[in-house]
Amino acid sequence: MPVIKIFLALGIFLFLSTSASAQTLAFQLRGGTQTRSVEELAKITPVVEVQTRSPIDDKKRRFKAFALKPLLKAMYGEHWKRDDDIVFTCTDGYQPSLPGAILQRHDAYLAFASADGQDFSIFDHGKVQDLGPYYLIWDNVRDEAFDDEQPQVWPFQVTALEPVPFKLRYAAMLPPARSSAQVRRGFLVFRNHCMNCHSINGLGGSLGPELNYPVNVTQYYAIPWLKRWIAMPRSIRYNATMPPLDAEAGTRDKMLNDLIAYLKAMVGKKVAPPR
Ligand code: HEC
């Protein structure tokens, strides 16, 4: 079933009278923080109803929500760029971030209430967790391309957003200064295909192992085996959970060579992860 988007012109009056006015969202930017209530957000972009299936509980549910893109545009204007990551701050201190490019390609929403009569909460890690004030959801019911590069990030109890330039946040994983064009291309492959799951110098995802610190993978794996692993993990370990590199046959070898060049270059740039 397609996503149901109903513009709740009347609904606005209903939810204004409830606790929604206490649900504020902070937009941070160097130089200050601006806070907006649900009513104020509704003046920027209309309330929509979104149906999703969250990976947290694997249930189809409907929420009242705001589309994220118009909010970012209204609040950050020119500061909201492709090169930025958006960092989400949650009540418990969890702080996931998302590449701006992913936010531009797919439709994310900030939900602030249930639209199907259920409590605005979710069963996660063995207990019922409040979703409010805001819950980041994705249009994974209607958006068919979404599954291919599905962001693993569905933070709830979101209280604040902040765009952070990628270069500042990820300095320790950028290729060394004056790297060759091949190394720089390899970094882009890593950023687009590997970084959600793997870290370099502690930066990136933690679903798969760290690949640089203290010993870089190119230092303990023979390069031909490493390439084969990245292209087809299951041709080496039958139960590997890592997905094969998603690339057209014609470009795969080039991508692999670029990637290896980047990984090798990082042998010369080891930065101890924080803690
Ligand atoms: C969806 C998550 C995911 C993605 C994307 C991913 N990996 Fe992995 N990777 C894993 C997991 C999990 C493992 C651990 C072995 C397993 O279960 O497959 C792993 C293992 C590895 C290993 C072996 C490390 C060791 O010390 O044994 C290497 C090297 C590696 N990945 C490189 C890459 C590269 C390069 C990319 C990008 C092209 C990539 N991975 C993309 C999840 C991922």
Task: Determine whether the shortest distance from the Cβ of 194 to ligand 1 is under 6 A.
Answer: yes
Task: Determine whether the shortest distance from the Cβ of 273 to ligand 1 is under 6 A.
Answer: no
Whole-number Å distance between alpha carbons of 269 and 116 = 51
pLDDT of residue 226: 98
Please list the residue range(s) of the chain that carry CATH number 1.10.760.10. Answer: 170-268
Determine which helix (DSSP H) or strand (DSSP E) holds 158, and give its type and residue range: strand 158-165
Q: Where are the alpha helices (DSSP H) in the chain?
A: 11-16, 38-44, 68-76, 100-105, 166-169, 181-193, 217-220, 223-231, 249-265
Three-state DSSP state, 225: helix
Under 8 Å between Cβ of 129 and 157? yes
Whole-number Å distance between alpha carbons of 195 and 167 = 14
Q: How do residues 170-221 score in pLDDT, each as one tens digit?
A: 899 999 999 999 999 999 999 888 987 899 999 888 889 999 999 999 999 9
Whole-number Å distance between alpha carbons of 188 and 182 = 10
Return the best residue to mutate from 150, 197, 212, 220 for the ligand 1 pocket (most ligand atoms within 8 A of CB).
197
pLDDT of residue 1: 36
- Which protein residue's CA is at the shortest distance from atom 12 of ligand 1? 208
- Class assignment of domain 170-268? mainly alpha
Contacts 24+ apart (CB under 8 A), 143-146: 143/106, 143/107, 145/105, 145/106, 146/106
Task: Determine whether the shortest distance from the Cβ of 6 to ligand 1 is under 6 A.
Answer: no
Please list the residue range(s) of the chain that carry CATH number 3.90.420.10. Answer: 11-166
Task: Determine whether the shortest distance from the Cβ of 266 to ligand 1 is under 6 A.
Answer: no
Helix 249-265 and helix 223-231, axial crossing angle in degrees, nearest 10 = 130
Whole-number Å distance between alpha carbons of 66 and 74 = 13
Instruction: Kindly give the distance from the C-alpha atom of residue 217 to the centroid of ligand 1, in angstroms, as a whole number.
Output: 11
Return the best residue to mutate from 188, 198, 226, 238 for the ligand 1 pocket (most ligand atoms within 8 A of CB).
198
Whole-number Å distance between alpha carbons of 104 and 87 = 15
- Which protein residue's CA is at the shortest distance from atom 28 of ligand 1? 230
Phi, psi of 65 (to 5 degrees): -155, 165
Residues of the chain with pLDDT under 70: 1-21, 78-79, 82-83, 144-152, 275
Answer CATH for 11-166 from 3.90.420.10, 3.30.830.10, 1.10.10.10, 3.20.20.70: 3.90.420.10
The alpha-carbon radius of gyration of the chain (Å, integer) is 21
Provide the phi-psi class of 204: left if phi over 0, else alpha when psi is between -120 and 50, else beta.
left
Q: For residue 50, what are the contacts with CB-CB under 8 A and spacing of at least 6?
A: 3, 4, 5, 62, 63, 65, 109, 111, 115, 137, 139
Instruction: Kindly give the distance from the C-alpha atom of residue 195 to the centroid of ligand 1, in angstroms, as a whole number.
Output: 10
Determine which helix (DSSP H) or strand (DSSP E) holds 84, and give its type and residue range: strand 84-90
Q: How do residues 65-85 score in pLDDT, each as one tens digit?
A: 999 999 999 998 866 776 688
